[in-house]
Amino acid sequence: MSRIHSGGIVPLFDRLGSELDNIDGIEKNFLTPIGLEQSVMIELNRLSTTRSRLTFDEFVKNDLTVLDYGLPDFTGYSVQNDENRRAVKVAIVKAIENYEPRLKKINVSVFTTSTKKNVSYFVVEANLLLGKEYQRVSFTLNGNNSPADSLNQKEVF
């Protein structure tokens, strides 16, 4: 008898690169709902810690391919500058839409620490399909986290 899985299938590269037997959130090559959220968080962390080969303008204007994976370098962009903040949000949303298709209706907020003006971290809020319904989830990323650090910062609405 088949069983309904509400998480999803373990992504190919996770299956190839990991011993899946003793990982929480994975049961017989299927992700549990918690495992699915962890998988998305890991992919968002990979995306945020990888720099795209494209300049910021090229990244925003061009159709992206697998060769353009990552985020453009936004070092020097200020959270206090409305135009910079909007540009960074657009780039992050575009990257997530292209490289993390499990998330829908994506909203990004960018922040800084109190001592800096540059983008220090960002929050991704989106809908994630769990079983037959979407659940609103939120992930906090700073582009320097290890996946384990980021997993502790995930929130579910």
User: Looking at the domain assignment, is residue 26 inside a domain?
Assistant: no
Residue 128 · residue 37 · CB < 8 Å: yes
Give the largest Cα separation in the chain, rounded.
58
Pick the closest to residue 126 from 154, 87, 84 (CA basis): 154
Q: What is the mean pLDDT of each successive set of 10 residues along the chain, which is 157 residues long? A: 50 52 55 82 92 94 95 86 91 96 94 71 91 89 54 42
* CATH classification of the domain holding 88: 3.10.450
Global pTM reads 0.77
User: Looking at the domain assignment, is residue 6 inside a domain?
Assistant: no
Please tell me the predicted confidence (pLDDT) of residue 25: 53
User: Looking at the domain assignment, is residue 151 inside a domain?
Assistant: yes
For the chain, the domain total comes to 1
Q: Give the single-character DSSP code of 108.
A: E
Please tell me the predicted confidence (pLDDT) of residue 16: 46
The domain of 82 spans: 38-156
Please tell me the predicted confidence (pLDDT) of residue 144: 56
Rounded distance, CA 137 to CA 109, Å?
Answer: 14
User: Looking at the domain assignment, is residue 3 inside a domain?
Assistant: no
